[in-house]
Every structure is written in C-alpha cells, then in structure tokens.
Chain A
Amino acid sequence: MASERVIWLSEQRVGSSLVARIGRRGDDLLAEFPGTGVLTANLKSSRANFEPVRGANELAVKKINASLVTALLRHLRGGLTLHASATGIGESAVAFVGPSGSGKSTMAAALCARPDTQLVADDTIAFELDEDSFSTFDVDVSPTQAEAWLLPDALRFLGFQGDGSEKVPVSLRNPTKTRLSLRAIVGLVFDARAHQPTIRSLRGHEAFQLLSSSVIRFVIDDPAAQAREFEQLCRVAHSCKILELRRSRSLRDLDRSIELVGRLYYSRGIEEGDLL
C-alpha cells in the first residue's frame, strides 16, 4: 500500500554520506540508493522493480543494476553474495573484500593487467552453494561484472585514459564467463604504518567477522535467513583461505601486493611463512 510508512532497518554510509539503506513498507522490501534509485520487491522475489531517480547518473544506474540490485534479489532467493571484487587464473579465483574505498576494484584491475588473469567480479561475488552438497570441499563463484570501476588515479596508474573525480567503468581484457573455484578471500586494509604490503591468515571469529561484514542482505530481520547465512558462511570459511592484506595507500605498493596475492591462485595449503 503506497501510503504505508517505510521502516528503515539498516543503512550504509561512506563518511557522512548515506549511500544505501534497506527498509520495509508493509510486506514489501525496499533498498534505496539516494540519488540513483529504489528497488522494491516482495519477500518471494516474485515481484521486483528498480526505479531510477529522475535525472540520475546513467552510469550509476547501470552499475547498481549490474551489481547490488542483482545481489539483493539473489539474497531473496537464498543466494550468498559478498561485496567484493574477484579475479581468476585458470579454474581458480581470489576475491577481495573491504569497505568502500579500500581498493577492491584497483586490485582486480591491476591483477587483470597480467596476461593470465581474468576479471570475475568488480563489486559483487555470487557464490554457487548447492544446498545438498554442503560436504564438498570447493566453493564456486560465478562471474558477475565484466567491467572494473576505477578512480582517476588508479586509472592513470594502470595506463587507462581518464579524468574527472568519479569512478568510471573500464572494460578489462578477457572477463571470465565460467564458474571458478574460490581459493581465497582477502580483506583489504590500508595501513599508514605498513612499510611494505603484508598478508596474514585470519582465523576463527576474525575470519567470520570479515565475511559477515561483506554479505549483501535484503532480508535482515528473518531468523531463518540468518541461520541459512550462518551455514553458508561456515562452508565458505571451511573451503577457502581467509586473509588480510595490509599496505599503504601508495599505488607503488601495488606490484608487491599483486606478487603476494598471485601465490594464492596456485596453492590451497599456503604456509604462514609464505605469506609474510
């Protein structure tokens, strides 16, 4: 009913700016992206509509449609999606999570400059977790985006043309079209005190916290959805390495970061000493 009040249940801010919020209006679920559009759906996801705001930036509408809108509707159908970028080599993928501005897209784009590396995702990674195969060792991810959205300094550093101050989409060579096995999830952290990039394993609650903070959820007040997510995250955490990469904000650290991350594609049993 159009006159019903919206109850906002969660919001995401970057600095002081509201970038997204999730709410309910009666039985409908709402996701609002201020200045860009509003997604409305019912719980069964049998009815869903993304309505761009009049005068919204076309590129922003396209980006949200290809990433967050798809991820939110996947969540309604029981799917697990993380806010992450990912790249692949052969049949293996590595994903990068972290807050907005932590360098997920830059890392993916920089890796894709290597001849053997393909883009799997720029903003959201979609897990393929079949309910009846929870005991299997691998978790797969499906390709979700074929473009990386980069800030001007990252664009120029990686040799692309670009100006202005906003992120712009860049088509990368060879976006993958097939499901890949996820080897590792890397939390990206900027650390002004880091003399050089370092990578370490996260265990237990620390690993779980990183995964949980990256989940894209449309239904956030349903215990059954919470329980399902718990099982899904347990499976992900058991099946692939969860790590943290600390580096300075300098793009000059990118080469060393890529060298560290590059090892993750080839070995499931990386020793702690190899990571540092």
Chain B
Amino acid sequence: MAATARRLESQFRLPMTAIPVLVPALPSVESAPFEAVEAFRKGLDVRIGAQLTSGSELLRALDLRRSEQVLPTALPSLDALLDGGLPRGKVIEIAGRGARLSVVIAALAAATSTGEAAALIDTGDAFDPQLGEAAGIDLRRLLWVRPRKLREAAAAAELVIATGFQLVAVDAGLPPLRGRVPDAAWVRLARAAEAHGTALLVSAPYPLTGTTSEAMLRAEPSRGQWRGPLLTGVDLALRLEKHRRKRPGGCARVQFRVAEAT
C-alpha cells in the first residue's frame, strides 16, 4: 500500500499550496483508524497525511466536537461567565427572583436563530409568543409545552430530550411551585441530556436540580428602571454559585429593556 502511495505521489505532483479543509480544527480521534487508511497515510508526505481523514473518523470527530460545543445565549456577559454559553449535554440552572424568563427567552432565540430546534417547557404558562418573536425566537423551531405541574414538566422534558432537541428550557414558574420532582428524576434528566447532547436549562425560583447541574446561577432581584413615568427595563445580576469546572463567584450583568423602549 505504501509503495502504491509513493508511486502515486511520484506520478501526480501534489500542489504545495494549502489544502482546503472542510472541517477546521478537528479534535484528535482516540480510537485507531482503519489499517488501510493508516497505511495509506504513512505512505504520504507528513503534511498531506495529516489532512487525510476517513469517513468514520470524520463522523466520530464531528460527534466529539458537537458534544464539546456550547450553545451561546447571545448575551455576551453570560456567555463569558459560562465559557461560551450553555454546554451541550449538561444541566444549567438559574434560580432566584431576578428576570429568569428573559434569560431563557434569549437562549431560545439564540438557538432557534442558528437553526436548532428548541423546546420550552413552560410550567407557569407564562410565555408570550408575540414578545418571543420580537425577542428573536424563530417560532417555527420552538416547541411550546405547557404542563400544569412540575412532575408533568419533568416527564415532558425527558420525552423532548430523547427526541433530539438540542436546547430544552424548563421554566418552573413562580412560587409556590405546583408539585414536586423527586431527585431521581433530575438524575434521569441529566443522563438523558448527556446521552443526547442536549443543553438543559432549568429556571426556578429556588434551586431544584441539586447535584445534577453543571452550573447554578443565582438571579438577583432588582428594581425596575423608570424614565419619567415609563418602565424602560430591568438590570439582572447573574451570580455563579456553582460550577463543576471553575471557581464560583463570577457575576454577569445583563440589561433587559421593555419592547416599547427599544
């Protein structure tokens, strides 16, 4: 095989200019490639061989890259706090009395605008489609599920994650929450999210997901901003209370404006 490759190389003068790469910055593939591809690669110039990728390697590399990717929320300060956005395959929780729903809608808008299908499990039935569209959500790609109880919300989230939605946002609504989800259900949800590469964003008035979440953000309550007699917006401070891979304590400040003021 190597000899054949060398013969081929001698017969066809390969250009020395940069070879276009379909998928830039592919991560290394752990498992050994097929022997034939490996042998062919050895027979080639090192630089050219490094660019040679078999179909199975490519698919595995894409899967790996996809699992390591994040879904940006398009809120720069929050994305910076979360190292790029909501990590795929992980649970991120926002708890507190701040403007949680606005963060959820921003994340849904960012995901659907890139062509991803997303789901909003809206336990409090609080979503306004008109304002959602104004916020940038591509409503055609949004599945709106309106359970009445938290237990139904968890069951619905599990179904939706298993279908392959890349962003699933569960909004638990306002206190008092209707019903309770056992801890085991959050473990199941976290495992399902990991298995399907789904970013699961949970928004609740107080922490629900326990140890299953990758990160927990505290949404601090704040006063409204008024210009004269008109409400113009609300400032939100999101404090990182827990993160599995970095030190907590960071804070992201986001300013949300009412639709009429933008």
Answer yes or no: are A and B bound together in one complex: no
